[in-house]
Structure 1
Amino acid sequence: MAKRKGLSLEEKRSRMMEIFFESKDVFQLKDIEKIAPKTKGIAPMTVKDVLQSLVDDNMVDCEKVGTSNYFWAFPSKALHARKRKLEELQKQSTQAKQRKESLQKAVEKTKEGRQDTKERASLLKELEALRKDKTHLLAELDKYKECDPEVVEEIRKSNVVAKAAVSRWTDNVFSIKSWTKKKFAFDDSRIDKAFGIPEDFDYMD
Structure 2
Amino acid sequence: MGVYSFKELEKLLPSVGSINGMQVKDYIQALTDDNLIRVEKIGSGNWYWSFTSDTKKSKENMINKLKDEESKLLATIAEAEQQIEEEMAKRQNDDEMLEDDGMDRKALTEAHHALVQENAALEKELALYSDSDPAEVMRKVEAANKLRESALRWTDNLEALEAFLISVTGDRAQVGEVMLRACGEEYVVGEGLKELVVPN
Q: TM-score, normalised by structure 2?
A: 0.39
- Compare CA radii of gyration and give the structure with the larger one: 2
